[in-house]
Amino acid sequence: MKIIKKSLFHSALVVLLMLGCKSKAEKEVAVVESSKKPNIVFIYMDDLGYGDMSAYGATEISTPNMDALATGGVQFTNGYATSATCTPSRYAILTGRYPWRNKDAKILPGTAPLIIDTTQITVPKMLQEKGYATGIVGKWHLGLGSGMVNWNERVSPGPNEVGFDYSYILAATQDRVPTVYIADGYVDGLDPNDPIEVSYKENFEGEPTGLDNPELTTMKWHHGHNNSIVNGVPRIGFMKGGEAAKWSDVDMADHFLAKAQQYVKEHKNKPFFLYYALQQPHVPRTPHPRFTGKSGMGPRGDVILEADWMIGEFMKTLDEEGILENTLIFFSSDNGPVVNDGYYDDAVEKLGNHTPAGILRGGKYSLFEAGTKVPFITYWKGTIAPGKSNAMVCQVDLLTSIAALVGSDKTGEDSENLLDEFLGKSQNGRDQLVLEATSRTAFRKGKWAMIPPYKGPAVIKSVNIEIGNSEEYQLYDLENDPSQKDNLAKSNPDKLQELVADFEKIRGTGTGEIEDLELK
Ligand code: NG6
Ligand code: CA
């Protein structure tokens, strides 16, 4: 805090001095300066694993631009998404509220209604109140509208109704329809004579599908993903019309980068918040041809390199616009990694020695560490001193921490003020954390991880991930056993009791309705 206070004090002093002896124009400039708040940027990856960056130990792939954030900022080794899938993590990062409190915070179809209450406090709303311009570019996946959506009119409520002045999004995921961009609620490039229809229940007559027309696909589905075909890729869900508005998959990363850069350029003179939510390395992995084959690891590796390049270009823009030293960046991922997530895309065959989860057990969908422990970095050139931190921090903490930074009294229901940790001034972090994976929850306290018993398969075979189900309680000492090999529940009953009691205090005793994964 000290540095910030000092610089605010400094600018206030400058104002006073200037008011005394300068012309009117100069006085106005000085007043603007005095209210200068840092820009805040979230760079959010989709399914990037703890072991997918060289800064986090990857040796088979090189991510120099992501690494530059890690080595120039605070690199957290105990940083968590709240959840092992996308929608719940994205709910928490914006609301500061545990996603398991909202029964609708599960992987959403492209037709799902908005799951954030429009009266709920969110990071962008809190920042709007503090005079920030707020924008989102990239993946949304928090639902749109309040019932049946008509994609040919303005789609609302959506990001603009929960705090973003500007939104340029893909509605759900790259593998789900509608495969169009939505700009402030309107489908970008829609021809009114070719309206869009979307359904997750049944196909539209005469429209080809991955299931019936494999000859029309250039990417083959492995499980799920056999509905409407767009650009040769069979998707989840059915869609008709909207030809002119359909996105080009291979250009998506460049397209979002250009929007993010434009946003920065247009808002560089006021404090802004930008949520830049990249779509990689989630399926379908569709690198631009200039990245194809570059990783030697197939499309999954190629899109990680592509994303890394995008981040480098984005950082250059902040630098060129002269605002790098006035911008606090959070970099993270919404959940852990998955290799085969539903397409035959060589990810398994060409993985070689790469370990997307590093030494962690599990992956996306899992209550084991790899589900939620993700790369997590804060970067603020000139303000944050580079270093590593093993403080336990979570994306749910951003709301309250950022509120503290900008002088807002808003807090998130489950969001702790970890501003000092994020600025690299404290290594304390949270004491405890409830984690979620496909509607099941588990607990972290200190160095301990506890997973309560759950029925169901131990491994989701289609994706080949251990998701943490067991008929017995599991207790792991993460300091001595970060790969969770040794279940200490039986040998350490007191510790187990303590964690179960603390967990149930927060979570209640019922584990709620378990999401039907449909991954088999
Ligand atoms: C699953 C999809 C998977 C991915 C995931 C959402 C199938 C068989 N699998 O249901 O491919 O889209 O949902 O990923 O449909 S997330 O990162 O957005 O949570
Ligand atoms: Ca994800």
Q: Are residues 158 and 279 in the same domain?
A: yes
17 in a structural domain: no
Pocket test for ligand 1, best of 235, 238, 341 (most atoms within 8 A of CB): 341
Write the CA distances from 294 to 67, 288, 350, 397, 417, integer angstroms: 18, 11, 12, 36, 41
Q: How confident is the model at residue 508 (pLDDT cuts 50, 70, 90)?
A: confident
Instruction: Give the pLDDT confidence of 17-31 residue by residue, as tens digits.
Output: 444 444 544 444 444
Neighbour count for residue 267 (Cβ, 10 Å): 21
- d(C-alpha 308, C-alpha 379), whole Å: 16
**Alpha helices (runs of H) in 105-245, residue ranges in sequence order:** 123-129
| pTM (two decimals) | 0.93
Instruction: Give the pLDDT confidence of 162-190 residue by residue, as tens digits.
Output: 999 999 999 999 999 999 999 999 999 99
Q: What is the pLDDT of residue 18?
A: 44
Q: What is the per-residue DSSP string for 228-258?
A: BEETTEE-BSEEE--GGGBPPGGGHHHHHHH
Ligand that comes closest to the CA of residue 210: 1
Q: What is the per-residue DSSP string for 69-127?
A: HHHHSEEESSEE-SBSSHHHHHHHHHHSS-GGGSTT-SPPPTTPPP-S-TTS--HHHHH
CATH number at residue 61: 3.40.720.10
- Ligand 1 site residues (CB inside 6 A) read 46-47, 85-86, 107, 141, 173, 175, 223-225, 236, 282-283, 335, 341-342, 519
What are the residues whose beta carbon lies below 5 Å from ligand 2 (ion)? 46-47, 86, 334-335
397 in a structural domain: yes
Instruction: Give the pLDDT confidence of 71-87 residue by residue, as tens digits.
Output: 999 999 999 999 999 99
H-run or E-run covering 274:
strand 272-277
Among 378, 411, 430, where does a domain finish?
A: 430
Nearest CA to ligand 1 atom 7: 224
How far is the centre of ligand 2, averaged over its atoms, from the C-alpha of 461 (Å)? 19
Neighbour count for residue 243 (Cβ, 10 Å): 12
Q: Are strands 233-234 and 229-230 parallel, antiparallel or unpaired?
A: antiparallel
Q: Are residues 305 and 233 in the same domain?
A: no
Instruction: Give the pLDDT confidence of 97-140 residue by residue, as tens digits.
Output: 999 999 999 999 999 999 999 999 999 999 999 999 999 999 99
Q: Are residues 422 and 468 in the same domain?
A: no
Among 217, 240, 263, where does a domain finish?
A: 240
How far is the centre of ligand 2, averaged over its atoms, from the C-alpha of 46 (Å)? 4
Q: What is the mean pLDDT of residues 480-492?
A: 98
Q: Are residues 204 and 252 in the same domain?
A: no
Q: What is the mean pLDDT of residues 4-14?
A: 40
Nearest CA to ligand 1 atom 13: 107
- d(C-alpha 109, C-alpha 142), whole Å: 9
Q: Are residues 407 and 442 in the same domain?
A: no
Q: Are residues 283 and 411 in the same domain?
A: yes
110 in a structural domain: yes
Using CA atoms in the order 208, 210, 211, 216, what is the torsion angle rounded to 10 degrees? 70
- d(C-alpha 185, C-alpha 364), whole Å: 30
Q: Which atom of ligand 1 is nearest to the CA of 236?
A: 15
Q: Are residues 182 and 233 in the same domain?
A: no
Q: What is the pLDDT of residue 286?
A: 98
How far is the centre of ligand 2, averaged over its atoms, from the C-alpha of 84 (Å)? 8
Instruction: Give the pLDDT confidence of 279-304 residue by residue, as tens digits.
Output: 999 999 999 999 999 999 999 999 99
25 in a structural domain: no
- d(C-alpha 206, C-alpha 48), whole Å: 37
Q: What is the pLDDT of residue 517?
A: 55
Q: How confident is the model at residue 519 (pLDDT cuts 50, 70, 90)?
A: low
Q: Are residues 394 and 263 in the same domain?
A: yes
How far is the centre of ligand 1, averaged over its atoms, from the C-alpha of 18 (Å)? 57
339 in a structural domain: yes
Q: How confident is the model at residue 510 (pLDDT cuts 50, 70, 90)?
A: low
Instruction: Give the pLDDT confidence of 202-224 residue by residue, as tens digits.
Output: 999 999 999 999 999 999 999 99
Q: Which atom of ligand 1 is nearest to the CA of 86?
A: 19
Q: Are residues 340 and 420 in the same domain?
A: yes
CATH number at residue 483: 3.30.1120.10
Q: Are residues 499 and 371 in the same domain?
A: no
Q: Which atom of ligand 1 is nearest to the CA of 85?
A: 19
| All residues at 6 or more sequence positions from 49 whose CB lies less than 8 Å from its CB, including other chains | 333, 336, 337, 356, 357, 358, 363, 370, 374
Nearest CA to ligand 1 atom 12: 175
Q: Which atom of ligand 1 is nearest to the CA of 46?
A: 17
**148: pLDDT strictly greater than 70:** yes
Pocket test for ligand 1, best of 46, 83, 85 (most atoms within 8 A of CB): 85
12 in a structural domain: no
Q: Which atom of ligand 1 is nearest to the CA of 175?
A: 12
Tell me the residue range of the domain where 499 lies: 434-516
Q: Are residues 115 and 139 in the same domain?
A: yes
Domain total in the chain: 3
Round the average pLDDT of the chain to a whole number and report it.
93
Among 430, 456, 490, where does a domain finish?
A: 430
Nearest CA to ligand 1 atom 11: 341
Q: What is the pLDDT of residue 513?
A: 53
**2: pLDDT strictly greater than 80:** no
Token pair for residue 127? 């920042």
The region of weakest confidence among 2-11, 141-150, 382-391, 467-476 is: 2-11
328 in a structural domain: yes
Pocket test for ligand 1, best of 47, 211, 519, 520 (most atoms within 8 A of CB): 519
Token pair 């960046």: residue: 329
Decide: 157 and 146 in contact? Cβ < 8 Å.
Answer: yes
13 in a structural domain: no
Q: Are residues 366 and 399 in the same domain?
A: yes
- d(C-alpha 136, C-alpha 134), whole Å: 7
